[in-house]
Amino acid sequence: MSAPLLEARGLTRRYALPRQSLLRKPPQMTAVDGISFTIEAGQTLGVVGESGSGKSTIARMVMAFEAPDAGQVLFRGQDLHGLKAGELRRQRQHFQMVFQDPFGSLDPRRRVGWSIAEPLRAIGLEADGARRSMEALEQVGLHPGDAEKYPHEFSGGQRQRIAIARAIVTRPALLVADEAVSALDVSVQAQILNLLMDLQEELGLGLLFISHDLAVIGSICDQLLVMQHGKAIEQGPVGQILRTPAQPYTQSLLKASGVFV
């Protein structure tokens, strides 16, 4: 049997809290505490939890932006945090990320075609940049000619499509979406979620989808991980958790999101 697309094993990350005394070591907090999960090709894992529960910290470790203090991130069986810098750079084309705020990730002074091609330049594939960014624009439902425009010429939803185009331009196998629709109106949220699901089907993407909103997560994921204070307090098939949440915390998230079961 081949290795899963992505496997997290006992991921743990601690941060130092502000020092309380010059004589003592600064206290630590555990932002992510022994989290394990797998994502297969074509599958979506949703991660839900309140602000500060550790969701983005998981994303940063999965993307190898930040190393865990304990545990492993295995991408196709390979420990990402054990790779040499050059090898990690080459692997990056296979896992890409979409953030909440596309304005933060799109350079306002650059044409969007340039920004979409950025991940290609990072791996030395810039020769193909123009063609592939136009192709990616079409894949996200925009026009190839939009490559010539600037970010301010697009709506919030369109900018999020551009951010998705940039994430798929390297033809990744895994997409990490951290609150990717949280800043959008509900109707636009639905369009972007549909786009992500269509792309997933078309490209066989594995998806790690992070949201504080259970209503959003429930509509898109297969497996669900419920986080509280860095711990996985509930984990399993999404239908089962939404129908019979075992934890009062999950029940309160359900109530807050207006998902009635």
Report, in Å, the least distance between residue 216 CB and ligand ATP: 13
Pick the stretch among 18-26, 47-55, 138-146, 233-241 that binds Mg ion (CB under 5 A).
47-55
The one of Mg ion, ligand ATP, none whose footprint includes residue 212, by CB under 5 to 8 A per kind, is ligand ATP
Please state the φ and ψ torsions of residue 131, each to the nearest 5 degrees.
-65, -45
Neighbouring C-alpha atoms within 13 Å toward the C-beta of 157: 14
Q: Which is nearer to ligand ATP, 166 or 212 (CB)?
A: 212
Q: Which is nearer to ligand ATP, 49 or 172 (CB)?
A: 49
Q: Which is nearer to ligand ATP, 3 or 70 (CB)?
A: 70
Q: Which is nearer to ligand ATP, 26 or 82 (CB)?
A: 26
Site for ligand ATP in 195-214 (CB under 6 A): 212
Report, in Å, the least distance between residue 60 CB and ligand ATP: 8
Site for ligand ATP in 33-92 (CB under 6 A): 49, 51-57
Residue whose entry in the numeric block shows the structure tokens 């997560």: 217
Among 44, 53, 56, 105, contact with Mg ion (rule: CB under 5 A): 56
Give residues with Cβ within 8 angstroms of 34, minimum separation 6.
10, 11, 12, 70, 71, 231, 232
Q: Which is nearer to ligand ATP, 31 or 241 (CB)?
A: 31
Count, residues in the chain: 261
What number of chain residues touch Mg ion (CB under 5 A)?
Answer: 2
Give one DSSP letter per residue of 157-217, joined into a string.
HHHHHHHHHHHHTT--SEEEEESTTTTS-HHHHHHHHHHHHHHHHHHT-EEEEEES-HHHH
Pick the stretch among 49-57, 123-131, 180-188, 243-251 that binds Mg ion (CB under 5 A).
49-57
**Between β-strands 223-228 and 231-237, what pairing exists: parallel, antiparallel or unpaired?**
antiparallel
Distance from C-alpha of 114 to C-alpha of 112, rounded to nearest angstrom: 5
Backbone conformation region of residue 54, classed left if phi is above 0, alpha if psi is from -120 to 50, else beta? left
Report, in Å, the least distance between residue 59 CB and ligand ATP: 8
Report, in Å, the least distance between residue 256 CB and ligand ATP: 13
Distance from C-alpha of 156 to C-alpha of 158, rounded to nearest angstrom: 5
SS3 at position 120: helix
Footprint on this chain of Mg ion (rule: CB under 5 A): 55-56
Footprint on this chain of ligand ATP (rule: CB under 6 A): 15, 31, 49, 51-57, 212
